[in-house]
Amino acid sequence: MTEPGAARVAVYLDFDNIVISRYDQVNGRNSFQRDKAKGLEAGKLARARVDVGAILDFASSFGTVVLTRAYADWSADVNAEYQQQLVGRAVDLVQLFPAAAYGKNAADIRLAVDAVEDMFRLPDLTHVVIVAGDSDYIPLAQRCKRLGRYVVGIGVAGSSSRALAAACDDFVIYDSLPGVPEVEQTLTEEPPKRTRRAKSADNDKESPDPQTAATALLQRALQIGLGKDDADWLHNSAVKAQMKRMDPSFSEKSLGFKSFSDFLRSRTDVVELDESSTTRMVKLR
């Protein structure tokens, strides 16, 4: 039984989006569409298999998961093989008919309508988790926030919109979830609209170096804290919270650090640390 006042989480998976994005990430840009035309190979599908459990376990870290829906054409073989895994985690499978018959944005529209309806039907929902990287979900994320919900986005690296990440309270790369094999990619500026396949861009040309971007984000957060509180030294937790507000996709773990403190220690040319007590403090050099 959920305790009164406890956080309650609803999870919505655009299953086609996450499966195709992961396939293209692992097997090569636009490979899903090409391979589908000649028949998807079992080996490639296995390498790109999505760990639904990792997603749902992460969602449960925000509170009790009271509602989970996954949207896809479940008659398609690539999706049907996940049914047992999804049903085993009490996921409600929402059937979408083939895109050619009903339009390429079927999942986006149905998911968004259901999510907004659920928020009015279940006013005690506190968190909404959107598993997709498509920028079409920006209005949904914004509406959820206006309705007072904490919005978490989960997307595959290389096929997730920066604008969607900015619209969420927190945005996490699927690769960084515990237990998921990591593939080196970064967020694209803006993936094309839904074509039932995931597309990624040339990350070297279109995306800044993630380490450099993280350092710049840290500097801005410290400058903002200094201007707001008129204090040189700031709590580590306050600095990280400000960085997450500015860029919800920030994660020290995706940058290769076990903790935020380790991230700060790697940037002592930029910041000064005070770890003389349990309350860790940081300031700009």
pLDDT above 90: percentage of residues in the chain: 41
Rounded to whole angstroms, the Cα distance separating 56 from 43 reads 25
**Strand 8-14 to 234-235 pairing:** unpaired
Q: Judge residue 146's burial from the number of C-beta atoms within 10 Å of its C-beta, 0-12 exposed, 13-18 middle, 19 or more buried.
A: exposed
C-alpha 138, offset from chain centre = 13
C-alpha distances out from residue 24 to 49, 50, 52, Å: 11, 12, 17
Query: pLDDT, tens digit, for every residue of 250-276?
Result: 889 888 999 999 999 999 898 888 888
Entry pTM: 0.74
Which range among 19-23, 165-169, 196-200 shows the weakest confidence by mean pLDDT? 196-200
Nearest to 161 by CA among 17, 269, 279, 263: 17
**Residue position matching structure tokens 């390429």:** 104
Structural domain boundaries in the chain? 8-204, 210-284
Over 70: is that where the pLDDT of 4 sits?
no
The answer to whether 8-204 and 210-284 have equal CATH topology is no
**What CATH architecture applies to the domain 8-204?**
3-Layer(aba) Sandwich (3.40)
pLDDT at 191 over 60: no
Is the predicted pLDDT of residue 128 greater than 70, yes or no? Answer: yes
The pLDDT of 79-102, averaged and rounded, is 83
Highest mean pLDDT among 18-32, 73-87, 117-131, 236-250: 117-131
Instruction: Mark out the alpha helices in 69-177 (DSSP H runs).
Output: 77-80, 83-88, 99-102, 106-121, 138-146, 162-167
Nearest 5 degrees, angle CA 32-CA 38-CA 39? 70
Average pLDDT value for the chain: 84
Which pLDDT tens digit goes with each residue over 218-230? 988 888 777 766 6
Largest CA distance in the chain: 64
pLDDT for 184 equals: 53
Q: Which of 241, 234, 240 is nearest to 274 (CA)?
A: 234
**CATH for the 210-284 domain, from 3.40.50.360, 3.30.300.20, 3.30.420.610, 3.30.1490.20:** 3.30.420.610
Q: What is the pLDDT of residue 202?
A: 39
